[in-house]
């Protein structure tokens, strides 16, 4: 009897997933436990395994299809086996419809400074992008403020109710940019073309939402990293290669210590409330091929440098294998992103990982002249870029936090405590 291949539940809050890519074709042999498809949520990409030995008899949900948890993606069974009557693949749970066009400030209208990340159904997101609607400005009428298909239809039916939701096609005044091409204009001379979908679309949506919602300020400073680098080298001389600490390991520990002392940076704007978190859950950006993911080290301020290093190595490895659980990339309170390994980057403007309120960017460490005890010496100076959401964190407290980070980097023995 053919066995259903269904959309798995990948987290407590997941209700809908999208088929990102089929790794097997219809008629191909599969083994029980073999990976046959990639599925996407708003937070993670994961792999679906075959529930049985046999062949992939039928693909019910093509790539890009959204399904509820338990929705049938396809069937696996013996070659030539009949497939049961096919269900509809458009079976995303229907949410409460909007009553119609809604004025600004009411349900379905503009949300103003909307808390992020924006909750929106895959169908609604697709419609919004097709009609050039910036959905970050909308107030959803679905459960928990989720934006539904009906909310997008309400905006389309009455655009005057939410005029800010429509993005200009080009330029702030809607005028075409000289020399720009339209999406429909034939292109020549390009070397590659691929759909803006899947993980790339999810990352893009989250970055656009954060950029649109948060009035961001970025502070730049340098820290003398001589003592930090010397301490790391001394410790690593005593360790096996696989146990050695990276600069990122030490910066995670330092940042967590600073957040423990300055909890005003460990905050989030949730609707009409500013929430200060007692626990320090530090996200660390990991670059993947064509993607970016932020696994979270929980209670980082309470962990030793050794434990942080071990966890970070494990999370990074499993991130590259698409093997992280949803709870391992959610619930962060602050993020660190390290581009110091690239010769090209010193200071930059990292985008806040909403709904967090701040992010620390680490740039290249360069040998530079510095004044030490009245003399000019050459020191390895580490570039730091601290971005924060000015709605909830003012400039002076952010500068105070950055000053503490610099102090801990320049006097790093505390990381061993």
**Which residue ranges make up each domain of the chain?**
3-77, 100-174+196-213, 215-416
pLDDT (mean) for 22-34: 93
Q: Which of 106-110, 142-146, 180-184 has the highest mean pLDDT?
A: 142-146
Is 202 or 385 the better-scoring residue by pLDDT?
Answer: 385
Outline where DSSP puts E strands in 157-301: 216-224, 267-270, 273-276, 282-284, 286-288, 291-293, 296-297
Q: Are 308 and 249 contacting, i.e. CB atoms less than 8 angstroms apart?
A: yes
- 394 carries an active-site annotation: yes
- Please give the CATH number for the structural domain made up of 100-174+196-213: 4.10.320.10
- pLDDT at residue 112, rounded to an integer: 42
**What is the chain's alpha carbon radius of gyration, rounded to the nearest angstrom?**
24
Indicate if the pLDDT at residue 235 is higher than 80. Answer: yes
Is 242 or 268 the better-scoring residue by pLDDT?
Answer: 268
List Cα–Cα distances, 244 to 77, 238, 308, 362, 396, in angstroms: 48, 9, 12, 20, 36
pLDDT (mean) for 276-296: 91
The one catalytic residue among 131, 219, 220, 390: 390
- pLDDT at residue 234, rounded to an integer: 96
Which own/partner contact pairs does 23-27 have at CB distance under 8 Å and 24+ positions apart?
23/47, 24/56, 25/56, 26/56, 26/57, 26/58, 26/59, 27/55, 27/56, 27/57, 27/79
CA distance 56 to 28: 6
Is 87 or 229 the better-scoring residue by pLDDT?
Answer: 229
pLDDT (mean) for 305-312: 96
- pLDDT at residue 82, rounded to an integer: 84
Indicate if the pLDDT at residue 143 is higher than 70. Answer: yes
- 390 carries an active-site annotation: yes
- Which two three-digit tokens encode residue 304? 């030793």
pTM, entire model: 0.66
Lowest mean pLDDT among 227-231, 259-263, 335-339, 411-415: 411-415
Indicate if the pLDDT at residue 54 is higher than 90. Answer: yes
- pLDDT at residue 32, rounded to an integer: 92
Query: For all residues of the chain together, what is the average pLDDT?
Result: 83
Lowest mean pLDDT among 3-12, 183-192, 269-278, 373-382: 183-192
List Cα–Cα distances, 224 to 86, 250, 371, 373, in angstroms: 64, 14, 11, 14
Nearest 5°: phi and psi at 362? Answer: -105, 125
- pLDDT at residue 131, rounded to an integer: 66
Chain-centre distance for alpha carbon 32: 31
- pLDDT at residue 43, rounded to an integer: 63
- Please give the CATH number for the structural domain made up of 215-416: 3.30.559.10
CA distance 213 to 271: 12
Lowest mean pLDDT among 101-105, 210-214, 245-249, 322-326: 101-105
Judge if the upstream peptide bond of residue 117 is cis by omega within 30 degrees of 0: yes
- Please give the CATH number for the structural domain made up of 3-77: 2.40.50.100
- pLDDT at residue 129, rounded to an integer: 67
């Amino acid at each position: 009897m053919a066995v259903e291949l269904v959309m798995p539940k990948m987290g407590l809050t997941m209700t809908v997933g999208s088929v990102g890519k089929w790794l097997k074709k219809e008629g191909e042999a599969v083994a029980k436990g073999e990976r046959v498809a990639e599925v996407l949520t708003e937070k993670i990409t994961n792999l679906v395994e075959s529930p049985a030995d046999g062949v992939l008899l039928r693909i019910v949900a093509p790539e890009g299809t959204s399904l509820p948890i338990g929705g049938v993606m396809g069937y696996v069974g013996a070659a030539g086996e009949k497939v049961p009557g096919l269900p509809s693949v458009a079976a995303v749970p229907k949410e409460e419809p909007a009553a119609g066009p809604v004025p600004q400030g009411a349900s379905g209208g503009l949300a103003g400074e909307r808390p992020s990340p924006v909750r929106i159904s895959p169908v609604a997101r697709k419609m919004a992008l097709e009609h050039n609607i910036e959905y970050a400005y909308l107030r959803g009428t679905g459960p928990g403020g989720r934006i539904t298909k009906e909310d997008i239809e309400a905006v389309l039916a009455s655009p005057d109710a939410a005029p800010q939701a429509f993005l200009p096609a080009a330029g702030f005044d809607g005028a075409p940019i000289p020399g720009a091409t339209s999406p429909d204009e034939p292109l020549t001379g390009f070397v590659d073309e691929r759909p803006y979908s899947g993980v790339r679309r999810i990352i893009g949506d989250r970055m656009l939402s954060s950029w649109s919602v948060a009035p961001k300020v970025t502070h730049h400073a340098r820290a003398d990293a001589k003592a930090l680098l010397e301490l790391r080298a001394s410790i690593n001389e005593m360790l096996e290669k696989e146990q050695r600490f990276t600069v990122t390991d030490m910066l995670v520990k330092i940042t967590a210590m600073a957040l423990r002392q300055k909890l005003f940076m460990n905050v989030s704007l949730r609707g009409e409330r500013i929430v200060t978190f007692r626990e320090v859950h530090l996200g660390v950006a990991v670059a993947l091929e064509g993607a970016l993911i932020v696994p979270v080290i929980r209670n980082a301020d309470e962990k030793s440098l050794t434990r942080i290093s071990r966890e970070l190595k494990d999370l990074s490895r499993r991130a590259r294998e698409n093997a992280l659980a949803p709870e391992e990339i959610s619930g962060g309170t602050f993020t660190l992103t390290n581009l110091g390994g690239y010769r090209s980057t010193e200071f930059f403007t990292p985008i806040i990982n909403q709904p967090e309120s701040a992010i620390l960017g680490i740039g290249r460490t360069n040998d530079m002249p510095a004044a030490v005890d009245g003399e000019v010496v050459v020191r390895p100076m580490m570039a730091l870029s601290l971005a924060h959401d000015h709605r909830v964190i003012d400039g002076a407290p952010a500068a105070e936090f950055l000053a503490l980070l610099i102090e801990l980097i320049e006097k790093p023995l505390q990381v061993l405590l």
